[in-house]
Amino acid sequence: MEKGRIIKIISHQYQVLVDGELLECVAMGKLRKDKAPVVGDLVLVERFGDQNGIQQILPRQNELVRPRIANVDQAIIVMSACDPQFSTALVDRLIFLICYAKIKPIICVSKMDLVDANDPVHAALLDYRNSGYEVFETGLDRSDEALKQMLKGKISVLTGQSGAGKSSLINRLDANFELKTQQISKALGRGKHTTRHCELMAVSGGWVADTPGFSSLDFTHVEIDKLAAVIPDFQEMLGNCRFQDCRHLKEPDCAIQNAVKEGRISQTRYAHYREICEWILNQKVKYR
């Protein structure tokens, strides 16, 4: 059997890249019953004359439900500096979900050529950089070379605001793509979904999944006791609280709360963490 990666799924047909060759495959019956293959899966393929069959899915490094994709190295949060307006609340919620899925978050802000030097987006991006996040700024007046280098050799997924320019970004990074783009829906104040399915595409020496923009974020599967442990901002303070089971909300002698007060952890990020924790707790009470 040969090892390959699923690049695209249409109906029950799987396109698998095996040593540079793209094979049309089907999933064997027993495989479909146990665990359905998804884009990004590493699989073992066997050739049967005029048909190729996926016999086994190898263990996943990680996976996302929306979009359905596995073995992602990094998630690029594409946000717009304007139209639609930049939102730290949305960025942070995406960071929390991405880190919870064991994926590295990277922030990419489009349309930076359309804002002036006094725009609040600059202070927000400085806050992310000071917190240790990788931040890329794009626009018609800027080079995309650093972003291209970041994609090389990686499996990346694009997410973020609808209308922030995810498909346009891929078009700029690789001229071979002519993905459909649409203008912002002025009536709704947000973008229209132009991407209809999940597919890995070769871009700048790596693979990128262009996916529909998020209209809602699902935290129903997130456990509060595990959330703080994956947020990059909190890493240096973990284990320094008085209580081992500290949730970093109202507990005394909490290292993370103290670091926020002292300016060593972003107040904005912590406020958004509290909001998500309160939402999760309220949902648990609601459905008891």
If residue 102 lies in a helix (H) or strand (E), which one and from where to where?
none
pLDDT per residue of the chain (288 residues) written in tens, 0 to 9 = 899 999 999 888 899 999 999 999 999 877 766 678 999 999 999 998 888 999 999 999 998 876 788 999 999 999 999 988 899 999 999 999 999 999 999 999 999 999 999 999 999 999 999 999 999 999 888 888 898 999 999 999 988 877 777 777 777 777 666 554 444 344 444 444 444 467 898 888 999 885 554 445 788 889 999 999 999 999 999 999 999 999 999 999 999 999 999 999 999 999 999 999 999 988 865 544
Q: What is the rounded distance in angstroms from the CA atom of residue 280 to the CA atom of residue 272?
A: 12
Query: What pLDDT, on a 0 to 100 scale, did the predictor assign at position 187?
Result: 42
Query: What pLDDT, on a 0 to 100 scale, did the predictor assign at position 32?
Result: 62
Query: Are 81 and 52 a contacting pair, CB within 8 Å?
Result: no
Q: Report the half-sphere exposure of 92 (CA within 13 A, side-chain side).
A: 23
Q: What is the rounded distance in angstroms from the CA atom of residue 273 to the CA atom of residue 66?
A: 21
Q: What is the rounded distance in angstroms from the CA atom of residue 78 to the CA atom of residue 22?
A: 29
C-alpha closest to that of 14 among 26, 1, 32, 29 = 26
Which residues touch 105 (CB under 8 Å, ≥6 apart)? 74, 75, 77, 94, 95, 98, 99, 133, 232
Query: What pLDDT, on a 0 to 100 scale, did the predictor assign at position 185?
Result: 41
Q: What is the rounded distance in angstroms from the CA atom of residue 27 to the CA atom of residue 57?
A: 10
Distance of CA 233 to the CA centre of its chain: 17
Single-letter code of the amino acid located at 225: D
- ∠ CA(106), CA(60), CA(54), 5° rounding? 125
Q: Specify the residue for token string 């284990």.
A: 239
Query: What pLDDT, on a 0 to 100 scale, did the predictor assign at position 192?
Result: 46
Q: What is the rounded distance in angstroms from the CA atom of residue 239 to the CA atom of residue 177?
A: 47
pTM metric for this prediction: 0.85
If residue 30 lies in a helix (H) or strand (E), which one and from where to where?
helix 29-34
Strand partners, 199: 8, 210
Single-letter code of the amino acid located at 177: F
Cis previous bond, 84, omega within 30? yes
